[in-house]
Chain A
Amino acid sequence: MAGIFDFGPAIVLLPFLSFLIAVGTALSGRDLLPKGGAIPGIAATAGSLVLSVAMAAAVAGGEVYDETIYTWAVGAVPGSDGLELTFGLLIDPLSSMMLVIVTLVALLVHVFSLGYMNDDGETGLPRYYAGLGLFTASMLGFVVADNLLMAFMFFELVGLCSYLLIGFHFREPGPPSAAKKAFLVTRFGDYFFLIGVVAVFATFGTAQFVGTEAAPGFPVLAEQALAGEFTANTFLGLGTEAWFTVVGLLVLGGVIGKSAQFPLHTWLPDAMEGPTPVSALIHAATMVAAGVYLVARMYGFYAVSPTALGVIALVGGFTALFAGTMGVVKRELKQVLAYSTISQYGYMMLALGAGGYVAATFHLLTHAFFKALLFLGAGSVILAMHHNENMWDMGGLKDKMPVTYYSFLAGSLALAGIFPFAGFWSKDEILFETLIHGLDGQPLLLVGYVFGLLAVPVTAFYTFRMVFLTFHGDARTEQAESPESVRWNVKGPLVVLGTLATVAGAVNLAPVRVLTGAHVDFLHAWLDGGFSDLTVHHYAEIDPYSSAYIGGELTTVLLGAAVSLGLALLGLGLAYRLYAVPEPVEHTDKLGSAKDLLYDNYYQDEYQVYLANRVVLPVARAADTFDQGVVDGAVNAVSSVSLFSGSRIRRIQTGVVSNYAALVTLGLTALLVVFGVLGGWLL
């Protein structure tokens, strides 16, 4: 196994190196590097991208790689080899695709940052680039992880980086708070994930995703266990399948946290406090994507647990609609994008839960491009608007920043799912898969499908509300009149991503395959390669779903696509009617009482803050009072009682010698009586 894969660790280590360089620069406190340390980051991500592409090429050639490269620790098990906790690289179609996405987006974000951060005169740039470098490195480490523990570790590091970057502007009140919230909420999810990791080890004795023939990975073991070929340890008296479901749901906790699924999505809108390029990175390629990627990574395990899949689908579908509705009323550009992210990842979850492994991966891919694009575009606008993010202060930017506008428009069309942009293909495939699996007696999936379908017009509506308010009509403020111009380092990434957002759908034209029979579903083929246990058709074999169609397959495809496209256009049209006017006004009042509900995000933040401030904190204070009063009070009481009894005992010593004599006599008499009785010579 020599060759390109030996450079696998370098993909992770290059950005890490750039992190170290940036940290060194930051510590020195001097301006040692040009561009505040951006250059090493750009070089490193570019290097990683090159390597990733090379690896993807190798994978395309049918090669895969799964090697343990470092043994972290070995737990002693008397009489056997022990439990090995290792680090390893797993490079297969899925991870190599993800590597390319991550490195590409990271590279573009680095470049964009030159414009967004450097040109804007930010301070603390080495710290910023250090964060980006570590962020990229952590995500890449997560992507290539060949076992669940390693994945968890890098998953956590991703969380750390999000904290550091969201809170980059630590002198302001908002960012540190948002950073804290992001870490805390995702940590809550990770708590379950960690239990899941522990449980996987305890259940299977390994957490390898793939493993070898002799020692297969845990998804395979789970399969075998259900087939009765392997005895997995189960706990708490649960049956094998029930236990697997529990473990799967535990791991899912981390996914829900990181991928901002209901009910742990609340951190994500707040995370917009971070610099915009960071948002792009978080949303498109790293942190949020990590959750969905994890499910895809260990899909074989979920596939054997129908309950877990059902939960995933339902959570995803619900989140897709739920988040979309909140995006409808937001005034800030980035807030709209934030809710769109939550919503889009909901789609991916829906797909995964519905057995649409390819669809989910596909949407992950296209979303990475168009969401990165939209964020960078938004960044461009924000830069132009001197960091005013309120869309109601914009308007008419279309003519002043055409590059931004057209690329942003491409991204918006993709997000809204308008044919033929990338988002259309992937979203359509998700809905299609959900539908056909749901029709085959899975009412849960049909519910998810309805959610997903309803989310389509909502998505289109808020997306184009955003576009129209920002770029169309007349400039509503002076800033919008004369926006700051942006340079190549902003425009370049926009152009690249705009192109990708437009055409990336071509990698998996599944409906076309159905229509024409031509094998144009390249991604499907791609993901069907590599380790046999990790292939699409393997997953299809083990998952609990089969397909049913309305009419025939073709009819269903066309019907589904038509409905979703129609709904998207409906939403777009509505947005056009309401906001593509010279003087748009808020129409939120028409929503009636729902308005407040939407503005306040269904009180999701409120109840979580309530839980924290009104439940946990008082409980903590009560515990503190209890501790000080009762526990410590008991300790102090022992000493007080001792001292008090001491002060009583010393009163025996009255100072009058006659009393002493009396006490001596009494004491002697008492002893005589007691021992007389005991000794039997008195009474």
Chain B
Amino acid sequence: MSDAGSRPRLKLGGHLLPGLAAVALFAVLAIVFLQASFGEPAGFPEGASITASIGYAMFNVDTGILSETVVSGEGFVVAFILIAIVLDVAIDGAVFLAKREEDGRIGGVLADGGREIRDALRGGDD
């Protein structure tokens, strides 16, 4: 960094430039997908209740004993329980982060790599 105090930043005029990466990615994906060939879709059986089927799948209900027409699906009960915990955790974490601290700075821990001290000592950014 030649001039002190200048943080690396995205250049204003060229801020769309990295977007080209996304375009390139799309190009690659498109080429691949256009080459794919598909058979006939299996589709859902007539009269099947998709919503109900999703429900059965979600709770691993043994659809064999049901009389109605269901669309088969893998069991998601584990995922369901897990997602409950995930949301729990997300709330827990989000709330913790959002809380305002009353007592100012936390502890004596300096987890910024000692930069604060260094900057204070040198009187500036490097």
A/B contact in complex, CB under 8 angstroms? yes
Interface residues of A (CB under 8 A from B): 654-656, 658-659, 661-662, 665-666, 668-669, 672-673, 676, 681-683
**B18 on the interface (CB 8 Å rule)?**
yes
B9–A669 CB distance below 8 A: no
Contacts of A655 in B (CB 8 A): 8
B93 → chain A closest CB, angstroms: 20
30 contacts between A and B (CB under 8 A): A654-B8, A655-B8, A656-B10, A658-B10, A658-B18, A659-B18, A661-B18, A662-B18, A662-B21, A665-B18, A665-B21, A665-B22, A665-B25, A666-B21, A666-B24, A668-B25, A669-B25, A669-B28, A672-B25, A672-B28, A672-B32, A676-B28, A676-B31, A676-B32, A681-B32, A681-B35, A682-B28, A682-B31, A682-B32, A683-B31
Q: Which residue of chain A lies nearest to B22 when distances are taken between CB atoms in the complex? A: A665
Contacts of B18 in A (CB 8 A): 658-659, 661-662, 665
A648 → chain B closest CB, angstroms: 15
Task: Take A662-B18, A676-B32, A682-B32 as given contacts and tell me if A656 and B9 are in contact as well, using a CB distance cutoff of 8 Å.
Answer: yes
- Number of residue pairs across A and B with beta carbons under 8 Å? 36
Contacts of A683 in B (CB 8 A): 31
CA distance A354 to B35 in the complex (A): 101
Helix, strand, loop or mixed for chain A's interface?
helix
Best-buried of B9, B10, B21 by chain A (most CB within 10 Å): B21
Q: Which residue of chain B lies nearest to A673 when distances are taken between CB atoms in the complex? A: B28
Contacts of A659 in B (CB 8 A): 18
Interface residues of B (CB under 8 A from A): 8-10, 18, 21-22, 24-25, 28-29, 31-32, 35
Contacts of B9 in A (CB 8 A): 656
Q: Which residue of chain B lies nearest to A658 when distances are taken between CB atoms in the complex? A: B10
CA distance A661 to B8 in the complex (A): 15
Q: Which residue of chain A lies nearest to B35 when distances are taken between CB atoms in the complex? A: A681
Contacts of A654 in B (CB 8 A): 8
B46 → chain A closest CB, angstroms: 36
CA distance A673 to B24 in the complex (A): 10
Leading 5 A-B pairs by shortest Cβ distance:
A662-B18, A665-B21, A669-B25, A672-B28, A666-B21
Contacts of A658 in B (CB 8 A): 10, 18
With contacts A656-B9, A665-B22, A673-B28 known, what are 6 further pairs, Cβ within 8 A?
A654-B8, A656-B10, A662-B18, A662-B21, A672-B25, A676-B28
Q: Which residue of chain A lies nearest to B18 when distances are taken between CB atoms in the complex? A: A662
Helix, strand, loop or mixed for chain B's interface?
helix
Contacts of A682 in B (CB 8 A): 28, 31-32
Contacts of A662 in B (CB 8 A): 18, 21
CA distance A658 to B7 in the complex (A): 14
Contacts of B25 in A (CB 8 A): 665, 668-669, 672
A48 → chain B closest CB, angstroms: 82
Contacts of A676 in B (CB 8 A): 28, 31-32
Q: Which residue of chain B lies nearest to A663 when distances are taken between CB atoms in the complex? A: B21
CA distance A668 to B21 in the complex (A): 10
Contacts of B8 in A (CB 8 A): 654-656
* Of the residues A656, A669, A673, A681, contact of B21 by C-beta under 8 Å: A669
Q: Which residue of chain B lies nearest to A671 when distances are taken between CB atoms in the complex? A: B28
CA distance A659 to B22 in the complex (A): 13
B16 → chain A closest CB, angstroms: 12
A326 → chain B closest CB, angstroms: 76
CA distance A331 to B32 in the complex (A): 104
CA distance A661 to B31 in the complex (A): 23
CA distance A656 to B1 in the complex (A): 14
Contacts of B29 in A (CB 8 A): 672
A677 → chain B closest CB, angstroms: 11
CA distance A60 to B8 in the complex (A): 106
Contacts of A656 in B (CB 8 A): 8-10
A19 → chain B closest CB, angstroms: 71
B25 → chain A closest CB, angstroms: 5
Q: Which residue of chain B lies nearest to A681 when distances are taken between CB atoms in the complex? A: B32
Q: Which residue of chain B lies nearest to A667 when distances are taken between CB atoms in the complex? A: B21
Q: Which residue of chain A lies nearest to B17 when distances are taken between CB atoms in the complex? A: A662
Contacts of B22 in A (CB 8 A): 665
CA distance A672 to B31 in the complex (A): 11
CA distance A659 to B31 in the complex (A): 26
A669–B10 CB distance below 8 A: no
Q: Which residue of chain B lies nearest to A654 when distances are taken between CB atoms in the complex? A: B8
A201 → chain B closest CB, angstroms: 71
A119 → chain B closest CB, angstroms: 80
Q: Which residue of chain A lies nearest to B15 when distances are taken between CB atoms in the complex? A: A658
A33 → chain B closest CB, angstroms: 75
CA distance A683 to B22 in the complex (A): 19
CA distance A672 to B22 in the complex (A): 13
A656 → chain B closest CB, angstroms: 6
Q: Which residue of chain B lies nearest to A672 when distances are taken between CB atoms in the complex? A: B28
CA distance A659 to B18 in the complex (A): 8
Contacts of B35 in A (CB 8 A): 681
CA distance A669 to B21 in the complex (A): 8
CA distance A39 to B22 in the complex (A): 103
CA distance A404 to B18 in the complex (A): 109
A653 → chain B closest CB, angstroms: 11
Q: Which residue of chain A lies nearest to B10 when distances are taken between CB atoms in the complex? A: A658
B43 → chain A closest CB, angstroms: 27
Q: Which residue of chain A lies nearest to B29 when distances are taken between CB atoms in the complex? A: A672
CA distance A669 to B30 in the complex (A): 12
CA distance A683 to B9 in the complex (A): 37
